[in-house]
Chains A and B, each alone.
Chain A
Amino acid sequence: MTEIAAQPSSEPLIRLERVSKSYRRGGETIQVLDRVDLAIPRGDFLALMAPSGSGKSTLLNLLGGLDRPDEGSILFDGVALESLGPRALTRWRAIHVGFVFQLYHLLPVLSAARNVELPLLLQRLGRAERARRVAAALSLVGFPDDRHTFRPTELSGGQQQRVAIARAIVTNPTVLLCDEPTGDLDRRAGDEILDLLVELNRRLDKTIVMVTHDPHAAERARTLVRLEKGLVGEIRATSS
């Protein structure tokens, strides 16, 4: 992949306009997100920081089209997600979104390489081409060559998260959505994963949205956003 200079563009990649989401449990309604406005520029590495239970995952799921807001609009590169039907949304997700989760969510019965191959199966690619892209993605995330056939249970947490990131970027999506990617790792392994994300953002210009409640992780992003009581609070550029 070649390095591309960031296109100066006034229009953000993702724009949330008065997005609300609530859950009903029993008789009461829990307002998780309340008219959230947020703009995420192309090429940004944005950390969304908030305490546990404040709606971080909910927001990320809305961004990735896994769930729909009650009200408001999510514009992705000019496309309103709410205007897409279920099929179109699935296709859109396959092209534009790579997810990374706290608990990696690799398929336990498949080898590391097979896990990374999964999103490629949806494309019209030959076997050899798939293998080439899988190897490239695994090498990009610094996953050891001799472990490609290992099952997730035979890998460390840090290695599993590398495989998960390789799976998320192997289709070259527009945005990476990371839900507490270091939440289950010790400090050292967590730092290595953060290094990797920074690298993907800086060198490959990948737009990354990462939610976390860990200030140490949030510091590594370009932009830090605090979510409080369902509203977006302080926004500032980080020192990184």
Chain B
Amino acid sequence: MTRYLPLVRAALARRRARTVLTIGSVLIAFLLFALLMSVRQAFLGGIHAVGKRILITANVVSLVSPLPLADRAIIASVPRVRRVAYEVWFGGYYRRTGNFLFALAVDPPTFVAELRSELGLSPRARARWIADRRGLLVGNAIARRFGWHVGEVIPLRSNIWRRSNGTNTWPVRVDGILRPSEKRYAQLALLHYHYLSETVAKSTGLSGKVSLYRVEIAHARDAAAVSRAIDARFANSPDPTRTSTARTFLLNFLDQIADIGTIVTAILAAVFFTMLLVTANTMARSVRERTAEFAVLRTLGYGPGRLFGLVVAEAALLVGAGALLGLLLGLGLIVVLHGLLATILPGFALPPSSFALGLALVVLFVLASSVVPYLQIARLAVADALRRE
């Protein structure tokens, strides 16, 4: 089929400016596709990894409203609950508020037990941290970023909590560095809950309270029943709870920021729809302008099927070239942005599934922009087209 290539190339060279603009619009569409799919991946990509056997119990009012620490024993007594950990969102930063880190105040024994396998933490570092009231565990991404080493004392600051001494600085010692298999844990900083709750100002109302409970259950299939059972225990308490799987919890949490998935889909739909109009218009015009040429090819013995094949090849070259350039440019940008956004959006990368989706979109757009040309070719009245010239 390569013998038809000069013919297809010549057709595209016929109106260079239009060809370039069309390829440009496809390029931009696929560049946006690459970038937005990477943003989506950064937000939602980790969600599959979230354990299905972990439930989150939080205050029904809002995430900001804490729950009493006393609830822990009650949750632990619910059948089929294995372990209960708890945490407080610390709102940590280092020196400047821009140096944000994902800091949680946790109960060391239970928390590490829950996440041990995923954190890449040596048993010695773990023991050291559990024993050290002012100890801190940090992900390797943070340690690298701020140049922290084990044994160093860090003035960790909170943008949520104040101490009873009036400052918002908690000195902590780095007891261990996490080398997690999953990127999202590389941003983590873990300090002791009791250190925080015993030093926090009374006015904060935090002492004796936690932000949420992480509940481990034996089987994922029990998630709904156990969630209902936990919430039933607190239905008539001053602080009713809402329990959901960690996955649902994370999705709801992200929804409160923005419905990333829907936004990405909506933007891409608009972009691709515009792109489709441009390519379809280009193809329809190009074929209409060449009506006489197609008629001549018919006199030479070209059938309608072959002419349509040439047009599809033309559309494939247009869309394919634009898509390839857009994806390559996108990948280049993603590599650059990945470095720049490493701390804000870890996991900003184009997932392999997006390439398959991109390829499917190319095929779809080639076919869609060939519909009008198909009709034009099928209806071509050769004798009339030759006379019109």
Q: Which residues of A contact B (CB under 8 A)?
A: 57-58, 61, 64, 66-67, 86-87, 90-91, 93-95, 97, 99, 101, 103, 105, 107, 109-110, 114, 118-119, 121-122, 127, 130, 167, 171
Known: A107-B293, A127-B3. A93 touches B301 (CB 8 A): yes
Known: A110-B10, A114-B6. A99 touches B383 (CB 8 A): no
Query: Smallest Cβ distance from B308 to chain A, in angstroms?
Result: 13
Asked if B387 is an interface residue, CB under 8 A from chain A, the answer is yes
Query: Smallest Cβ distance from A174 to chain B, in angstroms?
Result: 13
- State A121–B313 Cα separation when bound (angstroms): 16
Partner of A93, one of B4, B299, B304, B383: B299
- State A107–B389 Cα separation when bound (angstroms): 13
- State A90–B296 Cα separation when bound (angstroms): 13
Whether B11 lies near A109 (C-beta < 8 A) is: yes
Among B3, B298, B382, B387, max chain A CB count under 10 A is at B3
Whether B3 lies near A121 (C-beta < 8 A) is: yes
- State A61–B385 Cα separation when bound (angstroms): 12
Known: A119-B300, A119-B301, A167-B300. A109 touches B10 (CB 8 A): yes
Not counting A67-B383, A93-B301, a sample of 17 additional A-B residue pairs whose C-beta atoms are within 8 angstroms of each other reads A66-B298, A90-B301, A90-B302, A90-B303, A94-B300, A94-B301, A99-B299, A101-B386, A105-B292, A107-B10, A109-B10, A109-B14, A114-B6, A118-B300, A121-B4, A122-B301, A171-B301
- The 5 A-B pairs at the shortest CB distance, nearest first, are namely A94-B301, A109-B10, A90-B303, A61-B383, A99-B299
Q: Which residues of B contact A (CB under 8 A)?
A: 3-4, 6-7, 10-11, 13-14, 292-293, 296-304, 306, 382-383, 386-387, 389
Whether A121 lies near B386 (C-beta < 8 A) is: no
Query: Smallest Cβ distance from B324 to chain A, in angstroms?
Result: 24
Q: Which residues of B contact A110 (CB under 8 A)?
A: 6-7, 10
Q: Which residues of B contact A167 (CB under 8 A)?
A: 300
Query: Smallest Cβ distance from A95 to chain B, in angstroms?
Result: 7
Whether B387 lies near A57 (C-beta < 8 A) is: yes
Q: Which residues of B contact A122 (CB under 8 A)?
A: 300-302, 306
- State A17–B306 Cα separation when bound (angstroms): 32
- State A112–B306 Cα separation when bound (angstroms): 22
- State A198–B263 Cα separation when bound (angstroms): 73
Known: A66-B298, A67-B382. A105 touches B389 (CB 8 A): yes
Closest residue of B by beta carbon distance from A62: B383
Whether A64 lies near B299 (C-beta < 8 A) is: yes
- State A94–B299 Cα separation when bound (angstroms): 8
Whether A66 lies near B14 (C-beta < 8 A) is: no
- State A94–B3 Cα separation when bound (angstroms): 17
Known: A66-B382, A101-B386, A121-B4. A109 touches B301 (CB 8 A): no
11 contacts between A and B (CB under 8 A): A61-B382, A66-B386, A86-B304, A93-B299, A93-B301, A103-B389, A105-B389, A110-B6, A110-B10, A119-B301, A122-B302
Closest residue of B by beta carbon distance from A122: B301
Q: Which residues of A contact B296 (CB under 8 A)?
A: 105, 107
Q: Which residues of B contact A105 (CB under 8 A)?
A: 292, 296, 299, 386, 389
Closest residue of B by beta carbon distance from A179: B386
Whether B301 lies near A91 (C-beta < 8 A) is: yes
- State A97–B297 Cα separation when bound (angstroms): 13
Q: Which residues of B contact A103 (CB under 8 A)?
A: 389
- State A25–B198 Cα separation when bound (angstroms): 98
- State A52–B362 Cα separation when bound (angstroms): 50
Closest residue of A by beta carbon distance from B299: A99
Q: Which residues of B contact A97 (CB under 8 A)?
A: 299, 301
Among A66, A87, A99, A103, max chain B CB count under 10 A is at A66
- State A109–B297 Cα separation when bound (angstroms): 14
Q: Which residues of A contact B383 (CB under 8 A)?
A: 57-58, 61, 66-67
Q: Which residues of A contact B11 (CB under 8 A)?
A: 109
Closest residue of B by beta carbon distance from A151: B10
Q: Which residues of A contact B10 (CB under 8 A)?
A: 107, 109-110, 114
Closest residue of B by beta carbon distance from A104: B296
Closest residue of B by beta carbon distance from A114: B6
Q: Which residues of B contact A101 (CB under 8 A)?
A: 386
- State A86–B6 Cα separation when bound (angstroms): 27
Query: Smallest Cβ distance from A61 to chain B, in angstroms?
Result: 4
